[in-house]
Amino acid sequence: YTSVRRLGAFAEYACTAEDRVYPIADGITFEQAACLPIAGLTALQSLRDHGKIAAGKKVLINGASGGVGHFAVQIAKIFGAEVTAVTSGRNIEFVKGLGADRVIDYVKEDFTKGSGQYDLVFDAVSIRSFGVCKRVLTPAGIYVNTLPNATIVVQLITSLLPGKKARSMWVKPNESDIAWMMVQIKAGKIRIVIEQAYPLDRITDALAASEAGRTRGKIVVSVG
């Protein structure tokens, strides 16, 4: 899970606290479970805790077909939101299959210049700033991204003023959130999409695929 005692990456072993290791529900593979603590909880906590998502809210998700984004589309639908997904043309049918109500092909249309108004803009790939996204936010809308350092000053300023807000998040270990995700998966409400699982000795290939930014769902590395 997260909260390892020493920072590092791509190791066969890691040391962490006992309360940071959670059981995997029956029917969920190790590769699928590995997608939940970071990508899955980032999507859930961004929408629920920072974005204040609720039934009937209009939500736009940028990067909707990626590792975090594909979770976000499905979670937003569970909460009863109306979802607009931003992705490339090749992934339009994919995000529709996840439940998106409307899809914007970013190659053909810049959502920040459109006429749509959203209660929540979640930039799952953190490439569009609050400065441009606020144009499509409702008067009390919230913008959330996943790079805390990038928006810390804007977040502080908007927290002191009425109107549109900017939020950035850092995923927090949470046993009940992991359990909630597994319940949704078992119920068929969340589908974990893994584009490819790489063995540890192909970690450079996995990184190259991730950096290319064209993945559909998650990339995982299998250890052992």
- Answer yes or no: are the C-beta atoms of 190 and 76 closer than 8 Å: no
pLDDT at 213: 82
- Answer yes or no: are the C-beta atoms of 205 and 20 closer than 8 Å: no
* pLDDT of 205 over the 80 cut: yes
**Is domain 37-192 classified as CATH 3.20.20.70?**
no
pLDDT at 58: 99
pLDDT, one tens digit per residue, over 7-33 is: 677 888 878 888 888 889 999 999 999
Report residue 221's pLDDT band, with 50, 70 and 90 as the boundaries.
very high
Report residue 208's pLDDT band, with 50, 70 and 90 as the boundaries.
very high
pLDDT at 139: 97
pLDDT at 6: 65
- Mean pLDDT estimate for the chain: 91
Number of H helices, E strands in the chain: 8, 8
Residue spans of the domains in the chain: they are: 37-192, 196-224
CA distance 67 to 151: 22
Tell me, rounded to whole angstroms, the distance of Cα 69 from its chain centroid.
4
pTM of the model: 0.92
pLDDT, one tens digit per residue, over 37-61 is: 999 999 999 999 999 999 999 999 9
Packing angle, helices 175-186 and 67-78, rounded to 10? 80
User: How are beta strands 118-123 and 58-62 bridged, if at all?
Assistant: parallel
Among 67, 91, 75, 99, residue whose Cα is nearest residue 197: 67
pLDDT, one tens digit per residue, over 117-157 is: 999 999 999 899 899 999 999 999 999 999 876 566 676 67
In our burial notation (b when 16+ CB lie closer than 10 A, e otherwise), range 31-45 reads ebbbbbbebbbbbbb
